[in-house]
Structure 1
Amino acid sequence: MSTAAVSSSPNAPWRRPAWAGRNYTLLTAATIVTSLGSGGALIAAAFAVLEAGGGAGEVGLVAASRALPQVLFLLIGGAVADRLPRHRVMVGANALNCLSQGAFALLVLAGEPRLWQMMLLTALGGTGQAFFGPAAEGMLMSSVSGEQAGRAFAVFRMATQGAALGSAALGGALVAAVGPGWVLAIDAGAFAVAGALRAFLDVSHIEPRPPGDGLLADLRDGWREFTGRPWLWSIVVQFAVANAVVGAAEAVYGPLVARDSLGGAGPWGRALGAFGAGTVAGAFLMTRWRPRRLLLAGTLCVFPLALPAVALAVPVPAEALYVVMFVTGTTVEVFSVSWMTALHQEIPEDKLSRVSAYDWFGSIALLPPAMALAGPAEGAFGRTEALWGCAGLVVLVTAAVLWVPDVRNLTRRTAPVTGGPTPSAPSQGPNSSAASQSPENSTTKSTSADTEGPLGGLG
């Protein structure tokens, strides 16, 4: 009996789509769990600093403390994830995140935490993310194959961003009702549950990596793969700037504007929730829409990323901010799914984690100085002027990347759906007519939804 016949029978049991295998299902479930915790934890960390007597400078230092170890350890994390079983790297990273976030929660619940303690614990969380991100990226992309990969990524994003939506809205309310300590404790528990789920991932379909010539040789190999694709490194450079300024605007200035003009943690949590709702809508759109020019469509949808900074600069009423955040989330998610699909079809499976590490590294490299300098910039130029500058930089770098021919011309490929993930051959370039190759943040543009950075799934 055909699949169509089974699905049309009223008494037939529900079956997962052919592209939603065991690993894909486990990865999606685990990321939903961590998304439920991390959305509120973002708000809780900022307000924990503010309740301890800190200001913009202290909020920026704590945020930078998480981003700095990500920059330092990402490349090593990518090489390790392409050499060791990726699920073990992910479980170890989740354990570190659980312990560091749990300790942060205990400090906040016990009394007034010191700035250096909060910085140290968030730095440990950033170290875990540096190893988790590249492994998660490679694991997710190796769990799907064929022409339905784009739909699989869109469904993954829709599920995890839907969880983040509820988490952000509820997190702001919980911070206001019970304080940031309990919200951080919930996030620690979420990491524990997600790590347990990821321990059951099956990596038997991935061929063991040959011994090779060591870590530096692996990094050089990944660097050649990364720099050999203009569309790849140019978009990473674009997001190095965009993530830095949006990170400063949302992680540092956002809570301050919320405190001074919007009514505190509750409205800010609802604004982040509106962004999450937009990402769910964008992911749903991408289950139906399959743009032929992947990166052209995606990059055009990055321009609205400047809108939240503009709304905070005015500042607009809370209700208008919710609309702005929803629209931004919708358009940015179009880019996120397009980006994942491009990486899946262009990058060989055995290099996915290393390429992802260079992607993450470039995309967050400027986050630590941007967040650390957000407070001094507010003092030197004023908060409103700093926010307008953030918006202008997003527009400038996004317009610049459209001059790269491969960004405008890289097209979606089609291939027959296979029975499962298969190792991919080296890509023939962005305009190759070869079949789609099989190979998660944020970020990002990180595509792992477990990141607690300012952009959630863009990294």
Structure 2
Amino acid sequence: MTWSAALAPLRNRNFAWYFASRLVNTFGNMMATVALAFAVLDITDSPSALGQVLAAHTIPMIALLLYGGVIADRFPRTLVLQASNMASALSQGAIALLVLSGHAEIWMLVVLSVVHGAVSGISFPAMASVLPQLVERSELQPANALVSLTRNGTMVVGPTIGALLVVTAGSGWALAVDAATWLLAALLLLPVAMPPKEPGGAAPDTIGELREGWSFFWATPWLWIVVVGFGVLNAIHMGAWYTLGPAIADDTIGRQGWGFVLSAEAVGLLLTTVVLLRVRLERPLLLGMLGMAMIAPPILLLGVSPHLVGLVAVAFLAGAGTEIFGMGWNLAMQENIDDRMLSRAYSYDMLGSFVAMPIGQLAYGPLAEAFGFRPVLIASAVAYVAVVGLVLCSRSVRNLKRAPVEPLEPAAR
């Protein structure tokens, strides 16, 4: 693939505006991830409290994912994204105001995280499935890579800038920037012209649409096997890395050091994205699951020897593996699932993948307090590798290849 072909989606007006929206929004989110964690730890140094705030976002998000998939298959996906971006700007702005004013309490952050999580649940399926409506089928890999480039590029500087703002100005300012980026992201989607939805004969039937989505999900082995595996993998990752990680960093490498570790992970994501602009993935799920195994070393090192240089190195490799899976998964979904079913397929994917995340967020604090950080993290790393191996036992996962490119009508430009 030439560089001209790799950058071709940016010549598409609709994709270019969507790309700009994602870039702005993701930059704010990367800072907010660090800021919210340390805002909670400023109120209480309990990792269990941090897990409660994180779970307050995750639980309503999971609860509304299936409904979000129906909404995204029924209405214009950019309209769904605009509405959700505006609602997220309000909820994140309220959190920032409470933190900046010094009136924030854990229960307040929990309530506002519930609101933000509900909005995320409705918007995620639309965000995941919008690309096939913006670019031609032959441009899906470079379009996905460019979107990943926005995420991974901002992940390089976002956590570090967020941590720097936390240290110098306080957590509230990073959260305020995040709220502003949600608003700007909504405005940048206004010029995007989506193809009209095909008129339907019967009145919308939410339950019927959900049943149709479930039937497709269960009839596609590679889809449900990977999703079931990620139900466990994400619970481990959220509990071990994102709940215990900041607490361990506070006592070892420091808050700025944790920002460097997250940025190193992002550098791995970013450089791999650049490679995937040129290199075609022929076995997207096989390579992707092998890449996911690289999450285990950072979890192990966090428990055994949380030193900055070592964590930065293994976090870089984990980022590279994560990006390979992300690209492979999106290509598997977007090339093998019809557009009319795609949002619902993504919603079942997200539901199964995310459903156990609150368990990890809520359980890892008490587990670490009861058994110690080191044993919990070592066991988590071993379990992570074991689950990846079980998923790869499926032939449908190992052998899935790229779908042949068929000529389609050009996307609106």
TM-score (norm 1): 0.86
Partners of 1:303 and 1:366 lie apart in 2 by 19
Aligned counterpart, 1:386: 376
Aligned counterpart, 1:62: 53
2:280 to 290, 314, 319: 290
Aligned counterpart, 1:360: 350
Aligned counterpart, 1:403: 393
Q: Report the residue type matching 1:131 in the other structure.
A: I
Is 1:195 the counterpart of 2:167? The answer is: no
Contact 2:31 2:174 in 1 (8 A): yes
Aligned counterpart, 1:319: 309
2:37 to 46, 66, 78: 46
Contact 2:89 2:182 in 1 (8 A): yes
- Change in 2 beyond 3 A, CA 1:211/1:91: farther
1:310 to 288, 291, 300: 300
Aligned counterpart, 1:428: none
Is 1:140 the counterpart of 2:131? The answer is: yes
Is 1:372 the counterpart of 2:362? The answer is: yes
Contact 1:19 1:149 in 2 (8 A): no
2:320 to 309, 315, 330: 330
> Residue 415 of structure 1: CA displacement?
2.0
Partners of 1:74 and 1:394 lie apart in 2 by 25
2:265 to 256, 263, 275: 275
What whole-Å deviation, never above 9, does each CA across 1:29-76 have from its counterpart, x for those lacking one? 111111111111011111111111241110000000000001111111
1:412 to 380, 399, 402: 402
> Residue 160 of structure 1: CA displacement?
2.5
Aligned counterpart, 2:247: 256
In the TM superposition, what are the counterparts of 1:224-263 in structure 2 within 5 Å?
224-263=215-254
Is 1:17 the counterpart of 2:23? The answer is: no
Aligned counterpart, 1:350: 340
Give the gaps of 5 or more residues in structure 2.
Answer: none
> Residue 339 of structure 1: CA displacement?
0.8
Aligned counterpart, 2:67: 76
2:171 to 169, 180, 184: 180
Aligned counterpart, 1:433: none
Aligned counterpart, 2:97: 106
TM-score (norm 2): 0.95
> Residue 291 of structure 1: CA displacement?
2.7
Partners of 1:419 and 1:413 lie apart in 2 by 17
Is 1:115 the counterpart of 2:98? The answer is: no
Query: What SS class does the counterpart of residue 138 from structure 2 fall into?
Result: coil
Q: Report the residue type matching 1:111 in the other structure.
A: G
Query: What SS class does the counterpart of residue 74 from structure 2 fall into?
Result: coil
What whole-Å deviation, never above 9, does each CA across 1:203-259 have from its counterpart, x for those lacking one? 125434554551000101111111111100110111111111101122211111111
Query: What SS class does the counterpart of residue 302 from structure 1 fall into?
Result: helix
- Change in 2 beyond 3 A, CA 1:109/1:210: farther
Aligned counterpart, 1:299: 289
Aligned counterpart, 1:12: none
> Residue 18 of structure 1: CA displacement?
5.6
2:209 to 209, 212, 218: 218
What whole-Å deviation, never above 9, does each CA across 1:63-121 have from its counterpart, x for those lacking one? 00000001111111111111112111111111111111000001001114111100011
- Change in 2 beyond 3 A, CA 1:409/1:212: farther
The number of residue pairs the alignment matches comes to 410
1:166 to 157, 166, 180: 157
Aligned counterpart, 1:97: 88
> Residue 416 of structure 1: CA displacement?
5.2
Q: Report the residue type matching 1:33 in the other structure.
A: V
Q: Percent identity?
A: 33
- Change in 2 beyond 3 A, CA 1:208/1:273: farther
Give the gaps of 5 or more residues in structure 1.
Answer: 8-14, 423-459
> Residue 123 of structure 1: CA displacement?
1.1
What whole-Å deviation, never above 9, does each CA across 1:324-359 have from its counterpart, x for those lacking one? 111110111011111111111111001111111111
> Residue 315 of structure 1: CA displacement?
2.4
Q: Report the residue type matching 2:135 in the other structure.
A: V
Aligned counterpart, 1:443: none
> Residue 300 of structure 1: CA displacement?
1.2
**RMSD value over aligned CA atoms?**
1.9
Q: Report the residue type matching 1:331 in the other structure.
A: G
What whole-Å deviation, never above 9, does each CA across 1:360-403 have from its counterpart, x for those lacking one? 11111001121011111112211111111221221111100111
